[in-house]
């Protein structure tokens, strides 16, 4: 009896873990394929032994949002704090963002249209 309960718990755990992983891949696929491009300001960086958090500020429906992306990029990229970059996001998953680190935005008019003020420049 105990073996059946233990087996049920272990199997349930692996099913739950599989569902979480599949959901994550599905979200990433949806954002990459159907995501909208917005502009975000790179504001801070936190480094951990095996990962990094890169924080961005951006505007969605005139609402200011601060969020982070967990990407392993060059350690020297943290010197770009204060610069603006394109970000992919999807309204369906507002907490998940995909910054495009290779596409820096320098056009002031485009940055102001994205919701930022002149003091943010």
DSSP letter string, the chain: -HHHHHHHHHHHHHHHHHHHHHHHHHHHHHHHHHPEEEEEEEEEEEE-SS-EEEEEEEEETTEEEEEEE-----GGGGGGTT-EEEEEEETTEEEEEEEEEEEEE--HHHHHHTT--GGG-
Instruction: Give the distance, in angstroms, between the CA of residue 5 and the centroid of all CA atoms in the same chain.
Output: 39
pTM comes to: 0.83
- pLDDT score of 2: 80
- pLDDT score of 77: 87
Tell me the helices (H) and strands (E) count for the chain, helix number first: 2, 5
Would you write out the chain's pLDDT as a tens digit for each of its 121 residues?
788 999 999 999 999 999 999 999 999 999 999 999 999 999 999 988 888 899 999 999 889 999 999 888 887 888 999 999 999 999 888 888 999 999 999 999 999 999 999 988 8
- pLDDT score of 76: 85
- Tokens representing residue 82 in the block: 């204060």
């Amino acid at each position: 009896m105990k073996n059946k309960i233990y087996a049920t718990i272990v199997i349930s755990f692996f099913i739950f873990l599989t569902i979480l992983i599949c959901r994550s891949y599905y979200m990433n696929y949806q954002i990459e394929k159907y995501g909208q491009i917005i502009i975000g300001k790179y504001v801070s960086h936190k480094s951990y032994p095996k990962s990094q958090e890169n924080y961005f500020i951006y505007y969605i429906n005139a609402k200011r949002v601060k969020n982070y992306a967990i990407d392993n990029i060059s350690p020297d990229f943290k010197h770009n704090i204060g610069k603006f970059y394109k970000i992919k996001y999807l309204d369906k998953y507002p907490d998940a963002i995909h910054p495009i680190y290779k596409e820096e935005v320098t056009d002031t008019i485009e940055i102001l249209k994205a919701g930022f003020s002149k003091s943010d420049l």
